[in-house]
Structure 1
Amino acid sequence: MSSNTPPADTTPTPQHPMSTEEALAAAAVAEADALAALTNEVSELKAKNADLAEQFLRAKAEAQNTMRRAEEEMAKARKFAVESFAEGLLPVLDSFEAGLSIQEATLEQLREGSEATLKQLRSALERHKVVSIAPEAGAKFDPNQHQAISLVPADQPTNTVVTVLQKGYLIADRVLRPALVTVAAPK
């Protein structure tokens, strides 16, 4: 069967075709919504940036305050360390002055007073961790704590201390002054 009717159009047709003006209006609304969303996002980012900048400034100020306090504490520690050391030496000074104030002291009194004063001085130094370096004869030469003045022939092993010419001193395990020693020469 043939019919003279054309086939039916199957494409859907909009119920209300949009005019150009309506399309422009819809696009303008969409653009306004997008602009509002971007403006809102920019405002949020600015607020977050301001908050982070404030946090940074506070942290920076806190770090500066911490450094300043640490420097002040170190200065106080140095000052009071010297003060404590000087305070420990005052009794020694008093003993020297007392000994020198005696006009007619005997040799024995001078010796006793000097020994007592020396004991006080050693005690004050030890309280502040100042200890002597005085190696015994035959001890191995230690270049970290001893300074060799000369090599001398001796009946002992090479590179050992023969005599101590001057004591050395440590302060809290750090060499303040090395001991001056003579060392056994190689045979």
Structure 2
Amino acid sequence: MKDIDILTKRATEMKANGMLDGQIADELNISRETIVWLLTRASKREGVRAPKDLSIDWGNIGESSYRMRCVSDAMVDLVLDNIGSFEGTDVVVGIAVSGIPLASIMANELDAKLAIFHPNKQLFGTENADAVGIFSQSFADVKGANCVIVDDVITTGHTLVETTRQLTSAGAKPTAITVLVDKLGQDTIEGVPIYPLLRILWVV
């Protein structure tokens, strides 16, 4: 229970500092539903069942640029092993926030451009669920580009569905998704193959 108490405390502190549920979920690598449960638990309200979720703490990787490079290189190798060639990959799309450093290193390795996508949950939280995220204007344009999408963790897949749809709407072609950890367990999202370094397999 100690770990749950730590997560609850961290979520409560982030909420008190003005972070949106989606941002907190990203920071703790858990679903928004779990954030709601943690915050409800913190306020001692009853009636919200604990969701099935798993918190991924990859801080030991994230704190080291060397480890980040090693992991990013492994992600490049994994995708290359599955699709055969990165020839024709124009843009690597990093999903804010945690996908950005991985995508930056991968783009450098692939001699590709870098684009950044800010998903709805980072901009609006749960209050505006119909709103869509945006591509940063300070990075590469994705129009007409073959794109590899990079994120740290897949939890529900909603962010990647949003990203692939926005890429398609912008005239881009998403060709692969690669992540550090996949908690969802699907082979594709919106028809785009997923290549995770680690996949969580639920046995119960």
What TM-score results when the alignment is normalised by the length of structure 1? 0.21
Q: Which structure shows the higher helix fraction?
A: 1
Q: Which has the higher contact order (CA 8 A, sep 6+)?
A: 2
Q: Which has the larger radius of gyration?
A: 1
What TM-score results when the alignment is normalised by the length of structure 2? 0.20
